[in-house]
């Protein structure tokens, strides 16, 4: 269907081929009934404008005929929430969002005022689930990856070793997942309950908990600090909107598999059903079930992540090896001498260093199950009641390297003491048998450390909406819960048992175990649940809106008033035995709980000042039980000097109190994600007096982190300014500039920063009596100011109809001009655009470009996903991480309108991730936040409608 230019303020449109019966999605055949001359006559009827239609469509047939005529004329906005996309599954709001087929006032993400034209002065991106499914997208985290304003992937691959329980997060503008507000049908969910060190856990929504099969579309408010949803939405709002109703059923079966050998294959199934017509039967009941299972992918299955070898400019090997290294005084050795070899060992500074790659998952094994149900009843013509319930569960299993044991002591009474007949004596120095040796040992006999997390979310929502005395109202009560149960499955062995085994000569840290030693290790493994975490949010909310008068002769003003109350609670508890497993990094004394209540009131006023100009002002007042009160405004404008151009802009202020988990998360001591040199005892990678290579060089040191009850709230200022231009039919292009300024940013202090600048952050080192690093201290802190800015680019073009089909082209892109941040308040600024700094990088440019084709029941699409390169973490070994471009293709056919078959390939040129020397969450050779380790992946999916 061809477009006819941007709509003027008082025009209304209906998609071609739809009825005005009020049934969403029903198809009509009016083109076969009405002639072109009749349609033209109807469109020229007096009163064929938006305002009379909004009030008179029920009473005046002429208004209804006018609406039908305008719909069948083929007029369509280029960017619309409920219009067909112009060549892309991702669309952006332009000048207006056209009315739905019912000609009812609709509410668009970002505004509480319901209007027929649903105009928007703020930039919104819309992702349509059905279109993305045909391109092979099967999860909500994959949907969010199509948002170019979301900087890091934060997917399941990045969760390995992170303590997130397999969670995935959205991170708009790269300012942190804790500053992106994720909603389901315009309301909050419970944050992921598990608290991981240095992660957004407990402060952000796990995308895996969103019921993917129930989603109709996602509306992304790229302008932050929402007065309607909360001023903590500093980075933006991602609103997942479910299907409103169903009167039929469908069954979908699908799967995907990488073409490379190894794991990573996925299978999925979904079913939906519904009955009852809300208009005729006065009720509707619907349910959607979804199941998705993915095999794990081992690092050994991908050449780019197979080993930690210095020859590739990467040395993430560990001095805690098997066989174990040992030390006495300043001397160090390994039983293998200088003959370290094999796939897991390399020689360095007289010891053997160990690679854990063969034990580690690139992608964990996951199994996701979800259900969404909704019952809606019509109490009266203008009053509805609905009850929603969703339940989602993600079972996640991860393997990482065998447990390291450090700081061990072995005296000469042990049969395994070097020189006692089993373990050879060192050749470069002589041991003093009257003194013990220190050793560090990797428990390979216990195998990899394996853990499982069961993450379960559910929500109940009771909602009333309707129209009373000219006021639209919406009142809801909700209860949300997220619960994570964490368990040990293999490889976690009792520290006490290992120390006793070394002391009594049962265990051999320098070679294969005897039968007695292996039996001791097997008997000392811990299994079962070790942690439980629960987060709950209960809330009440209400809002009303209406038109309040035509003050300036340019159209009716709109007013919205609302308020909400919510109660947040969190609880995390460890089993007592975790204190006997140093490699787990948990502390039973760290069991914590916290709660808070929040009351909020807000108002929004939209005033058309001229036919071409409207202004909107909103204000929100929040009262926190633990952080006092705050009032924050938002202002926006929309200016349409002529039909083809809309200029828009907004200014808002944000306020985000620390989450309960940022305040109260248990303090825990885990190993650093990366490998570092002690800046004193192994400066520059060279062993210094008093140091030894196996303890102080290229090591994972202990890192103490967690909550901080002294945190101050974050404050922010957001601005956007942009335009949408439609020079010709079917072509729409837009630019939206954005600026964000955040003070008192809350973040876990980056471990890499501690080691990159040891003089500035000397107070974050805790040293043992011998001068070695006991641990570093990170944890949550207020890190100063973040200043970032950029521009979002949109392009949508639908080619004129041809005998060969309908072609379309769509593109969204984000260019970041600046990202300056401070690690300490009043400290120096660091720019991380295109430059790995701290805990990551901000990509300069990202885009998603999609071309589509359709002819009858046949369809095809091709998509390019591109992310620009950047300067690597350690530029002495790898100066530049290359740009990353993937091409996806899909084809599909619909048989007799009841069976959809879609198949395709993602990453069809089998592009490997570009090499990077970072080691985020034990991932090596690439950055899981930047690239996908699967490689070329084939997919197929069939949907049967009944």
| Tens of pLDDT, residues 243-285 | 999 999 999 999 999 999 989 999 999 999 999 999 999 999 9
Estimate the crossing angle of helix 36-43 against helix 61-72, to 10 degrees: 130
- Domain residue limits, the chain: 668-705+748-779
What pLDDT score was predicted for residue 303? 85
Are residues 396 and 365 in contact, defined by beta-carbon separation less than 8 angstroms?
yes
What whole-number distance in Å separates Cα of residue 288 and Cα of residue 373?
6
The rounded average pLDDT for each run of 10 residues, N- to C-terminus, in the chain (946 residues) is 36 32 33 38 40 35 35 32 44 43 53 54 87 86 89 66 74 92 94 66 83 92 84 93 95 97 94 95 97 92 75 71 89 84 76 85 93 96 96 94 89 93 91 92 93 95 96 97 96 95 94 95 96 95 95 95 96 93 85 94 96 96 96 96 94 95 84 86 90 83 89 96 93 96 91 89 92 91 94 95 95 97 89 89 96 96 96 80 96 96 96 85 80 94 96
What pLDDT score was predicted for residue 106? 56
Are residues 740 and 175 in contact, defined by beta-carbon separation less than 8 angstroms?
yes
Residue 682, class by beta-carbon neighbours within 10 Å (0-12 exposed, 13-18 middle, 19+ buried)? Answer: buried
Compute CA 1 distance to the chain's CA centroid, rounded to the nearest angstrom.
Answer: 34
What whole-number distance in Å separates Cα of residue 363 and Cα of residue 366?
9
What pLDDT score was predicted for residue 749? 85
- Name residues whose C-beta falls within 8 Å of residue 41's C-beta, 6 or more positions apart in sequence: none
What pLDDT score was predicted for residue 157? 59
What single-letter DSSP state applies at residue 79? S
Are residues 168 and 201 in contact, defined by beta-carbon separation less than 8 angstroms?
no
Q: How far is CA 6 from CA 63, 88, 123, 574, 725, in A?
A: 22, 19, 16, 58, 8
What pLDDT score was predicted for residue 61? 36
Report the candidate in 352, 361, 383 with the shortest Cα–Cα distance to residue 162: 361
Q: Supply the pTM of this predicted model.
A: 0.85
| Tens of pLDDT, residues 836-854 | 987 789 999 999 999 999 9
What pLDDT score was predicted for residue 311? 58
Considering just the CA atoms, what is the radius of gyration of the chain in Å?
Answer: 30
What pLDDT score was predicted for residue 685? 85
In DSSP notation, 414-452 reads STTSTTSSSSPPPSSS---TTS-EEEEEE-GGG-SEEEE
What pLDDT score was predicted for residue 71? 34
What whole-number distance in Å separates Cα of residue 677 and Cα of residue 701?
9
What pLDDT score was predicted for residue 916? 87
What pLDDT score was predicted for residue 750? 83
* DSSP H or E segment with residue 361: strand 361-363
């Amino acid at each position: 269907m061809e477009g006819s230019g941007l709509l003027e303020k008082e025009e209304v449109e209906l998609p071609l081929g739809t009825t005005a019966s009020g049934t969403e999605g029903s198809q009509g055949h009016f083109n076969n009934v009405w002639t072109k001359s009749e349609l033209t006559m109807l469109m020229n009827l007096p009163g064929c404008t938006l305002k009379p239609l909004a009030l008179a469509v029920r009473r005046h047939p002429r208004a209804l005929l006018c609406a039908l005529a305008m719909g069948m004329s083929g007029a369509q906005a280029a960017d619309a929430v409920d219009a067909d996309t112009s060549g892309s599954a991702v669309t952006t709001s332009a000048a207006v969002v056209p009315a739905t087929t019912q000609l009812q006032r609709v509410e668009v993400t970002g505004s509480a005022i319901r209007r027929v034209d649903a105009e928007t002065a703020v930039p919104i991106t819309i992702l349509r689930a059905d279109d993305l499914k045909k391109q092979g997208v099967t999860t909500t985290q994959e949907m969010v990856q199509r948002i170019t304003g979301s900087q890091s992937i934060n997917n399941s691959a990045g969760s390995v070793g992170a303590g997130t329980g397999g969670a995935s997060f959205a991170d708009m503008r790269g300012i942190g997942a804790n500053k992106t507000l994720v909603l389901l049908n315009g309301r909050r969910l419970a944050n992921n309950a598990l608290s991981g060190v240095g992660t957004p856990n407990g402060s952000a929504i796990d995308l895996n908990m969103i019921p993917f099969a129930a989603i109709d579309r996602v509306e992304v408010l790229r302008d932050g600090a929402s007065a309607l949803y909360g001023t903590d939405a500093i980075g933006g709002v991602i609103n997942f909107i479910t299907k409103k109703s169903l009167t039929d059923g469908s069954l979908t079966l699908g799967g995907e598999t990488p073409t490379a050998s190894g794991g990573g294959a996925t299978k999925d199934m979904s079913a939906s059903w519904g009955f009852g017509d809300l208009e005729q039967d006065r009720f509707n009941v619907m349910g959607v079930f979804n199941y998705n299972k993915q095999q794990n992918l081992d690092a050994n299955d991908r050449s780019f992540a197979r080993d930690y070898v210095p020859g590739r400019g990467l040395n993430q090997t560990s001095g805690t090896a098997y066989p174990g290294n040992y030390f006495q005084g300043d001397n160090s050795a390994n039983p293998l001498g200088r003959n370290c070899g094999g796939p897991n060992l390399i020689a360095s500074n007289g010891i053997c260093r160990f690679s854990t790659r063969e034990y580690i998952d690139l992608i964990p094994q996951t199994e996701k199950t979800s259900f969404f149900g909704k019952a809606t009843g019509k109490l009266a013509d203008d009053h509805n009641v609905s009850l929603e319930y969703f339940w989602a569960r993600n079972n996640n299993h991860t393997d990482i390297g065998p447990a390291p044991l450090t700081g061990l002591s072995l005296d000469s009474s042990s049969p395994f003491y070097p020189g006692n007949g089993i373990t050879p004596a060192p050749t470069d120095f002589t041991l003093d048998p009257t003194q013990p040796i220190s050793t560090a040992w990797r428990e390979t006999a216990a195998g990899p450390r394996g853990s499982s997390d069961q993450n379960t979310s559910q929500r109940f929502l009771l909602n009333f909406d309707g129209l009373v005395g000219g006021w639209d109202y919406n009142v809801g009560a909700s209860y949300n819960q997220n619960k994570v149960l964490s368990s040990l499955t293999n490889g976690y062995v009792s520290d006490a048992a290992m120390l006793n085994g070394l002391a009594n000569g049962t265990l051999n840290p320098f070679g294969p175990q005897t039968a007695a030693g292996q039996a001791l290790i097997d008997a000392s493994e811990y299994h079962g649940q070790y942690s439980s975490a629960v987060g709950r949010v209960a809330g009440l909310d209400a809002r009303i809106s209406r038109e309040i008068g035509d003050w300036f002769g340019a159209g009716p003003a709109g007013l919205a008033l609302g308020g909400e109350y919510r109660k947040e609670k969190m609880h995390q508890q460890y089993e007592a035995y975790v204190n006997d497993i140093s490699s787990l990094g948990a502390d039973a004394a760290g069991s914590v709980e916290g709660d808070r209540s929040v009351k909020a009131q807000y108002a929004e006023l939209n005033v058309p000042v001229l036919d071409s100009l409207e202004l909107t002002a909103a204000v929100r007042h929040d009262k926190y039980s633990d952080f006092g009160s705050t009032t924050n405004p938002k202002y926006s404008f929309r200016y349409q000097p002529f039909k083809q151009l809309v200029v828009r802009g907004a200014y808002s202020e944000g306020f985000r109190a620390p989450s309960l988990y940022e305040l109260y998360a248990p303090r825990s001591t885990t190993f650093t994600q990366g490998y570092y040199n002690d800046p004193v005892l192994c400066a520059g990678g060279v062993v210094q007096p008093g140091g030894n290579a196996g303890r102080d060089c290229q090591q994972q040191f202990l890192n103490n982190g967690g909550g901080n009850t002294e945190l101050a709230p974050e404050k922010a200022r957001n601005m956007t300014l942009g335009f949408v231009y439609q020079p010709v039919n079917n072509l729409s292009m837009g630019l939206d500039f954005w600026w964000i300024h955040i003070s008192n940013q809350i973040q876990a202090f980056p471990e890499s920063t501690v080691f990159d600048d040891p003089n500035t952050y000397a107070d974050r080192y805790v040293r043992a009596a011998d001068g070695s690093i006991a641990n570093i201290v990170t944890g949550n802190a207020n890190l100063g100011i973040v200043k970032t800015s950029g521009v979002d680019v949109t392009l949508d073009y639908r080619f004129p109809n041809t005998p060969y089909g309908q072609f379309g082209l769509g593109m969204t892109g984000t260019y970041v001009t600046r990202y300056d941040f401070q690690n300490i308040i009043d400290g120096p600024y660091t720019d991380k655009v295109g430059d790995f700094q701290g805990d990551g990088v901000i990509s300069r440019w990202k885009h998603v470009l999609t071309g589509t084709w359709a002819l009858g029941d046949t369809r095809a699409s091709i998509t390019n996903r591109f992310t620009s390169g950047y300067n690597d973490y350690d530029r002495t070994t790898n100066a530049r991480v290359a740009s990353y471009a993937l091409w996806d293709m899909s084809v599909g056919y619909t048989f007799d309108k009841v069976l959809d078959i879609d198949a395709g390939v993602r990453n069809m040129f089998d592009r490997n991730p570009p090499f990077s020397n970072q080691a985020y969450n034990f991932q090596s050779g690439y950055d899981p936040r930047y690239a996908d380790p699967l490689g070329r992946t084939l997919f197929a999916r069939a949907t049967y409608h009944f």
